Structure 1
Amino acid sequence: MLSYGFVALGGAAGSVLRFGLNRWLSLLLGETLPWGTILINVVGSFAIGLFAAYFESNTRSAIPLEVRQFVLVGLCGGFTTFSSFSLQTLVLLNAGEAGRALLNVALSVALCLVAVALGYMVPNALAGITRSVGA
């Protein structure tokens, strides 16, 4: 149960950090593109790679499991789940599984786009409203 608490605390910190940084970046860079989200995904992906490499370079006993869970699952995952996706794809590539890595990317992007579109359309359909996504 202790692990859940560490993940929850890290997730809360990562989410608050993402929220504040996204607002600041949107004000700074404008909203012609979702620059905040793009930059957060890049920073989060860098951070999870950095921490994963650091944790792997140290013996498992040197860094407690709860600390690794707080940082990788909680903090980085709360900051951006794209970082987890990126790390898992890199792990597949490093394992010589280029096909599975590509499949992971293709399925994740395609299925998530379909899922968000369906999620967007369901309430409208239940209310009897017909309009396209984003309209």
Structure 2
Amino acid sequence: MTALLVVLGAAAGAPLRYVTDLWVNSLHDSLVPWGTFVVNVVGSFVLGAVGGLAARGGASPHLVALLGTGFCGALTTFSTFGYETAELARQRAWLYAAGNVAGSVVAGFAAVAAGYALTA
């Protein structure tokens, strides 16, 4: 049952990541990979909220599997973040690469904290 919930969550999160990434990047003519940034921050917020609910007993293990593992796992993407940052470095866009790393880590942590605080 749990594995099926993870698959269902991922089936929603992966296409949402794809279309969100395309849409956000179409709004910007920039080296910065804003689409990946947005999905990672949004996913961090959702995971923080799920974690906050789980910490206070308001989320079942099934909800954590569906939303936390499946949906957030497919929505967010560390590998694409790493690849895009490496591409910025390869293009010698050092400030963009450093800004992508720093901004993603700070915003992701802040989003988790906000989601957790909202639901815990």
- What is the aligned partner in structure 2 of residue 70 from structure 1? 66
SS class of match (2:20): helix
Gaps in structure 1 of 5+ consecutive residues: 83-108, 118-132
- Local SS of the residue matching 1:32: coil
Please give the residue correspondences for 1:44-123 in structure 2 after superposition, counting only pairs within 5 Å: 44-58=43-57, 63-82=59-78
Deviation at 1:81, TM superposition (A): 4.5
State the TM-score, normalizing by the size of structure 1.
Answer: 0.54
AA at the equivalent of 1:48: L
Amino acid at match of 2:50: F
Q: Give the CA deviation at 1:64.
A: 3.0
Q: Name which structure has the greater RCO, CA cutoff 8 Å, separation 6+.
A: 2
Count, aligned residues: 84
Percent of pairs identical after alignment? 33
Residue 40 (structure 2) aligns with: 41
Which whole-Å CA distance do the structure 2 matches of 1:17 and 1:52 have between them? 21
Structure 2 gaps, min length 5: 92-120
Q: CA offsets per residue over residues 37-58 of structure 1, 9 Å max, x none?
A: 0121111112111111122112
- TM-score normalised according to structure 2 size: 0.60
Give the aligned partner of residue 8 of structure 1.
7
Q: 1:30 to 1:54 in 2, by over 3 A?
A: farther
2: CA distance between counterparts of 1:31 and 1:81?
A: 20
Change in 2 beyond 3 A, CA 1:39/1:70: same
Aligned to 1:19: 18
Query: What is the CA-CA distance between 1:27 and the residue it aligns to?
Result: 0.6
Q: What's the RMSD between the two structures over aligned residues?
A: 2.4
Question: How far did 1:31 drift?
Answer: 4.1
Tell me the distance in 1 between the aligned counterparts of 2:30 and 2:3: 36
Larger radius of gyration: 1
C-alpha distance after superposition, 1:17-69 (max 9, x if no partner): 1011101101112342111001211111121111111221125xxx4322210
Say if 1:64 and 1:50 are closer, same or farther in 2 by CA, change over 3 A: closer
CA distance in structure 1 between the aligned counterparts of 2:21 and 2:40, rounded to whole angstroms = 11
